[in-house]
């Protein structure tokens, strides 16, 4: 390989930015870093997307980075950290810079005024109100490179992208169960089927969620708080769906987080209510009644299964009859990932489109 001399094998294997004829190429490593930054905003940005941004100088060295956490946009935060943008600086951002006046001025305008000469992004803005940033940047003679790690970044931002596409939040159903699909023993006891490490992961997942949804059956049987134990985390809103009344002394009525009681079994009423809350993602921690209802309604986009290597043989199953009589009509998911968590097997399943 020879371009203005021999490029080091190490640079090639790591795919780090390399200066060739004064230009930086292959931004995949930096985009991966920006994507990791963006994940810090999960649960904090609704109704807006998560975004990570990195600024590098002409040699490829990182000089500023930040992420969107509900206030200023990631690009604006990263730019504001630098007194003067150096010549030849490049902005790497996970989402196309916005092009509209909302709570903040357009990021495209800020970038143009900053002196940045190259902008690299992964995913085009799907919001009809905010899109167009790339075209505005090009019109200002700024080089724009798009589509870097698009699939990876789209998955990280799937909650917001789904909401834009389907006009409803993204639903994740979390289930902890035995090998034979039981979530509690015959005597009703469910504490604890899964390991402490698995429960710690669920606590983190709660901190990344906008709303935790359960049914009145779970509320009455378990008296959960549905809070995250993550340090300095924002507590997600709690939503209880169903017609039974919840006692005033329930943990769900404490002041640790907002709780809403939706007395209905109607999906449209639920979706309308969630639209008013302007949420991107809902974590379902319900039992089989509400879980089965949501599954049959087709809104369970993803499942997080914590599978304990144990058997009960009897007890409560995690799901009820779906009314399916043949393999041809089964609900299909694909395995996104699988990992061992202490004694358990964690499987993330996403809806097979």
Q: What is the CATH number of the domain that holds 199?
A: 3.40.430.10
Look at residues 162, 191, 222 and tell me which one is the last residue of a structural domain.
162
Going residue by residue through the chain, which has 353 residues, state the pLDDT in tens, using 9 for 90 and above: 333 333 333 333 334 454 433 444 468 999 999 999 999 999 999 999 999 999 998 888 899 999 999 888 999 999 999 988 999 899 999 999 988 766 677 888 889 999 899 999 999 987 776 677 899 999 999 999 999 999 999 999 999 999 999 999 999 999 999 999 999 999 888 888 999 999 999 999 999 999 999 999 999 989 999 999 998 888 999 999 999 999 999 999 999 999 999 999 999 999 999 999 999 999 999 999 999 999 999 999 999 999 999 999 999 999 999 999 999 999 999 999 999 999 999 999 999 76
User: Whole-angstrom Cα distance, residue 273 to residue 214?
Assistant: 15
Look at residues 115, 133, 162 and tell me which one is the last residue of a structural domain.
162
pLDDT at 102: 66
Report residue 201 CA to chain centroid gap. Answer: 14
Q: Is residue 286 part of a domain?
A: yes
The single-letter DSSP state of residue 117 is: -
- For residue 142, count other CB atoms closer than 10 A to its CB: 19
**Domain boundaries, position 22:** 9-162
Same domain, yes or no, for 51 and 198? no
Same domain, yes or no, for 252 and 137? no
pLDDT at 131: 73
Q: Is residue 186 part of a domain?
A: yes
Total domains in the chain come to 2
Same domain, yes or no, for 156 and 213? no
pLDDT at 202: 96
Q: Which among 69, 67, 65, 66 has a CA at the least distance from the CA of 45?
A: 69
The single-letter DSSP state of residue 21 is: T
- pTM given for the model: 0.87
Antiparallel, parallel or unpaired: β 211-215 and 281-284: parallel
Same domain, yes or no, for 157 and 187? no
The single-letter DSSP state of residue 227 is: -
CATH number at residue 134: 3.40.140.10
The single-letter DSSP state of residue 39 is: G
By CB atoms closer than 10 A (0-12, 13-18, 19+), residue 133 is buried
Same domain, yes or no, for 157 and 202? no
User: Whole-angstrom Cα distance, residue 69 to residue 31?
Assistant: 18
Look at residues 127, 162, 197 and tell me which one is the last residue of a structural domain.
162
Q: Which of 36, 75, 255, 285 is catalytic?
A: 75
Q: Is residue 154 part of a domain?
A: yes
Same domain, yes or no, for 149 and 36? yes
Q: What is the DSSP string of 51-80?
A: -EEEEE-TTS-EEEEEE-SSSS-HHHHHHH
Same domain, yes or no, for 223 and 156? no
Same domain, yes or no, for 289 and 320? yes
User: Whole-angstrom Cα distance, residue 246 to residue 266?
Assistant: 19
Q: Is residue 330 part of a domain?
A: yes
Q: What is the DSSP string of 304-345?
A: EEEE-S---SSSEES-------SGGG---EEEEEEEEETTEE
Same domain, yes or no, for 216 and 146? no
Per-residue tokens: 62:
């990182």
Is residue 75 part of the annotated active site? The answer reads yes
Q: Is residue 4 part of a domain?
A: no
Half-sphere exposure of 160 (CA within 13 A, CB side): 23
Question: What length does the chain have?
Answer: 353
Same domain, yes or no, for 122 and 55? yes
Same domain, yes or no, for 227 and 111? no
pLDDT at 11: 36
pLDDT at 147: 93
Q: Which helix (H) or strand (E) holds 346?
A: strand 344-351
Same domain, yes or no, for 231 and 139? no
User: Whole-angstrom Cα distance, residue 322 to residue 320?
Assistant: 6
Q: Is residue 2 part of a domain?
A: no
Q: Is residue 3 part of a domain?
A: no
Q: 267-277 and 288-297 are packed helices; what angle lies between their axes, rounded to 10 degrees? A: 90
Identify the three-state secondary structure at position 83.
Answer: coil
């Amino acid at each position: 390989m020879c371009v203005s001399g021999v490029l080091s094998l190490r640079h090639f294997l790591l795919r780090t930015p390399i200066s060739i004829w004064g230009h930086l190429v292959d931004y995949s490593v930096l985009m991966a870093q920006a994507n990791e930054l963006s994940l810090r905003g999960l649960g904090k940005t609704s109704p807006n997307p998560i975004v990570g941004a990195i600024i590098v100088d002409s040699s490829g060295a990182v000089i500023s980075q930040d992420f969107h956490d509900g206030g200023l946009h990631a690009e604006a935060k990263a730019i504001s950290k630098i007194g003067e943008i150096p010549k030849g600086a490049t902005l790497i951002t996970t989402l196309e810079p916005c092009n509209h006046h909302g709570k903040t001025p357009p990021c495209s305008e800020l970038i143009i005024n900053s002196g940045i000469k190259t902008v690299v992004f992964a995913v085009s803005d799907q919001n009809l109100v905010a899109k167009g940033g790339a075209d505005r940047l090009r019109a200002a003679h700024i080089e724009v490179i798009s589509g870097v790690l698009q699939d990876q970044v789209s998955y990280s931002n799937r909650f917001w992208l789904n909401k834009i596409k389907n006009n409803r939040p993204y639903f994740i159903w979390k289930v902890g169960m035995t090998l034979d699909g039981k979530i509690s023993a015959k005597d009703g006891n469910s504490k604890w089927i899964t390991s402490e490490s698995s429960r710690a992961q669920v606590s983190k997942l709660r901190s990344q969620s906008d709303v935790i949804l359960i049914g009145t059956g779970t509320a009455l049987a378990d008296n959960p708080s549905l809070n995250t134990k993550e340090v300095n985390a924002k507590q997600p809103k709690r939503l209880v769906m169903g017609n039974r009344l919840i006692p005033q002394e329930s943990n769900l009525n404490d002041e640790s987080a907002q709780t809403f009681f939706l007395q209905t079994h109607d999906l449209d009423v639920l979706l309308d209510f969630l639209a008013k809350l302007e949420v991107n993602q809902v974590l379902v921690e319900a039992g089989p009644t509400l879980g089965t209802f949501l599954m049959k309604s087709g809104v369970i986009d993803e499942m997080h299964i914590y599978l304990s290597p144990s058997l009960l043989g009897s007890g409560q199953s995690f799901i009820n009859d779906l009314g399916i009589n043949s393999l041809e009509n089964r609900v299909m998911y694909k395995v996104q990932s699988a990992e061992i968590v202490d004694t358990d097997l964690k499987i993330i399943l996403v809806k097979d489109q």
